[in-house]
Amino acid sequence: MKISLLLALYRSFLKKCPSCGKESIYIRYLKLKTNCGNCNEELSIYRTDDFGPWLTIIIVGHIIVPLVLYIEQSYSPQLWLQATVWIPITILSVLYVLPISKSICLAILWKLKEK
């Protein structure tokens, strides 16, 4: 069955198999399964490499940096307070977005290789 790129991307946002959308693509945090447990789609052949971290930096950077600049220009809080707030928020955001970015990359590669 042919699946649209939009549907594959939607499934990737949920970190699910791009082919069936039922099973998670991860064994652990960023460790991909070899095959989908539901449809047996081979997942380990897709080399996502640095695309996931790159996309994560783009997404998180475009959210966090404007917020930091807005808060700095509007309220000018102490530097220690900003570091205490923004560093954990940035780390948590990156940890949340990174598996989704990797999943998006896998879905794009999967769609490009689809017959």
Return residues touching Zn ion (CB under 5 A): 17, 19-20, 36, 38-39, 41
| Residue placing its CB nearer to Zn ion in the complex, 19 or 56 | 19
CA distance 75 to 20: 48
Residue 10 backbone phi and psi in degrees, to 5:
-60, -45
Shortest spacing between CB 97 and Zn ion, in angstroms: 23
| Residue placing its CB nearer to Zn ion in the complex, 1 or 79 | 1
Q: Is the distance from CB of 6 to CB of 70 less than 8 angstroms? A: no
Shortest spacing between CB 20 and Zn ion, in angstroms: 3
CA distance 19 to 92: 29
Shortest spacing between CB 5 and Zn ion, in angstroms: 16
